Amino acid sequence: MAGSEQKEKIIRFYKGTEGAETAVKLVDLAEQVKRSQKFRLSGFLDPYGQEIAETVAANYPGIRVDFHGGYHGAERQRAMFIDEAFGGNPDFNIVVIKASWNGQFEHIGHRDVLGALMGQGIERDRIGDIIMGAATARILADEQMGTYLLDNLTQIGHSGVSCVLDDLSNIAPKEERCKEIRATVASLRVDSIAASGYGTSRSHAAADIAADKLRLNWQPVKNAAQAVKEGDVLSMRGRGRVEVVEIKGQTKKGRTVVVLKRYI
């Protein structure tokens, strides 16, 4: 398939979805790699963006994609498209800035830190994970943005903060807790699977869908009746992810047996 056809095929697939803008950026990076036979680096991507990057790489023979977010288990990661003939070992150019404040007088949360960054006009893809600690926040960023934060991030909310360049090795790998759930459901509707995975009722799950809280494969769920299949991933901010591991068949009463994994 010609390059222009590959490009149009991918952009058309994501057109009208939450990932449309990301798809255009990533396809452009892949096209640049194809021409230069070297590598190109994306901004920080959420899991859905990473899925798009994998789709893009799969449509460009001779190009592979690697991911890194600064530490093991990072949710937001940069994608690197690399020509397989390229012999170099390029760097992901990720740094971590440690912001500190007086915890006796102010409680600062993840949302406050992100709000302070966005309030400075920083684009979201310049920032990776934000790891909260005791009166500290470790902010993953690209190298250029890290330098900017050292000079300009002086306040979060009403609190003054001081920033230093930290070492990536100081970030502990993220350990995901996981529990297996075996359930029987009336159908493979997304509200039914979400109810089993998150331990709630179908009506509650439907309300979460109506409130745009639930994602299926990192895309908004438009309809509670949407079907799920093996390998699908449900996610809800603050409540973790649920993976549909196996669909085992039906019981004598006509209910479907499913095996789910919930990551917290």
Contacts of 160 (CB under 8 A, 6+ apart): 101, 154
Angle between helix axes 47-58 and 3-14 (nearest 10 degrees) is 150
Q: Is the pTM of this model over 0.75?
A: no
**99 and 156 in contact (C-beta within 8 Å)?**
yes
Q: How many whole angstroms separate alpha carbon 243 and alpha carbon 258? A: 11
Q: How many whole angstroms separate alpha carbon 189 and alpha carbon 227? A: 5
Q: Name the residue with tokens 């039914």.
A: 192
CATH class of 94-170: alpha beta
Looking at residue 60, the DSSP 8-state letter turns out to be: S
What is the structure's pLDDT at 3? 54
**193 and 242 in contact (C-beta within 8 Å)?**
yes
Positive or negative CA dihedral for 132, 136, 137, 138? negative
Provide the token pair at 6.
């590959």
Structural fold of domain 178-263: 3.10.290
Q: Name the residue with tokens 């309809």.
A: 223
List the beta bridge partners of residue 250: 256
Closest C-alpha among 29, 143, 155, 135 to residue 97: 143
| pLDDT tens-digit map of 162-220 | 999 999 999 988 777 789 999 999 999 999 999 999 999 999 999 999 988 888 887 77
- Stretch (H or E) spanning 177: none
3-state SS record for 123-141: CHHHEEEEEEECCEEEEEE
Q: How many whole angstroms separate alpha carbon 29 and alpha carbon 16? A: 21
| % of the chain surpassing 90 pLDDT | 71
Closest C-alpha among 253, 239, 256 to residue 204: 239
Domain ranges of the chain: 3-83, 94-170, 178-263
What is the structure's pLDDT at 48? 85
Provide the token pair at 212.
């745009």
Provide the token pair at 264.
């917290």
CA angle 213, 79, 170 (to 5 degrees): 85
CATH: 3.40.50.2300, 3.20.20.70, 3.40.50.1860, 3.30.1370.160. Which one for 3-83?
3.30.1370.160
End-to-end CA distance of the chain: 42
Q: Which residues of the chain have pLDDT under 50?
A: 1-2
Closest C-alpha among 106, 94, 216 to residue 159: 106
